[in-house]
Amino acid sequence: MTGTSSSTRFVLPIAALTIAATACTVTINRDDADFNARAAVDAWVAMWNSYDLDLVDELFLTDSNVTYLSSEREGAITGIDAVREHHVGFGFVSGGEPPDATLWVEDVEVSTPGGIAVVTGTWYFRRGADATAELQRGPVTFVYVPTDDGYRIAHAHFADY
């Protein structure tokens, strides 16, 4: 994996996100020969579109090493407790409660230097079902590290365009 890179572009249909958010959890196994960026992003998008707080612990490192830079606030969010609380602030609850909004990621690219995976893309967010509603967007970076439980997000960084 060291020194390799690949590029994938995909668009997730809104209906598929709703189904994915309620139908399954994607596991990214550490033993995979290649890190699956699409599965990783799909799992994160499903978490976001379900507002399921329990999925935060399935996708992120669950210790003090996880960091998160949000487009919604200044400063670093450090540690899993702070990352959970940040998601609670958006309305995430245990078991989930899908919001009246949809988030998706396009232009996904991945590089895998030294056994970690750096995933970049552009996030899009729209409130409500109205396709003419304001569309927010910006760059996103996830840094995934291998753990005994598969790859987990060690760092996430969101910004706005």
Contact 154, 77 (CB under 8 A): no
Residue 56's H or E segment, with its range, is helix 54-59
Give the tens place of pLDDT for each residue, 84-131: 999 999 999 999 998 899 999 999 999 999 889 999 999 999 988 777
CATH of the domain at 137: 3.10.450.50
Domain that holds residue 124: 4-158
- Higher pLDDT, residue 21 or 121: 121
- CA-wise closest residue to 102 among 134, 127, 123: 127
What pLDDT does 35 receive? 80
User: Cα 50 to chain center, whole Å?
Assistant: 12
Separation of alpha carbons 125 and 115, rounded Å: 31
Q: Is the pLDDT of residue 24 over 70?
A: no
Say which residues have a Cβ less than 8 Å from residue 52's Cβ, sequence separation at least 6: 21, 92, 93, 94, 95, 96
Mean pLDDT score of the chain, rounded to an integer? 82
User: Which pLDDT value is given to residue 53?
Assistant: 97
3-state helix, strand, coil in the chain (%, to 5): 25, 35, 35
Continuous segment of H or E residues that includes residue 14: helix 14-23
pTM recorded for the entire structure: 0.77
Question: Residues of the chain with pLDDT > 70: what percent?
Answer: 79
Number of domains the chain contains: 1
pLDDT value at 18 more than 50: no
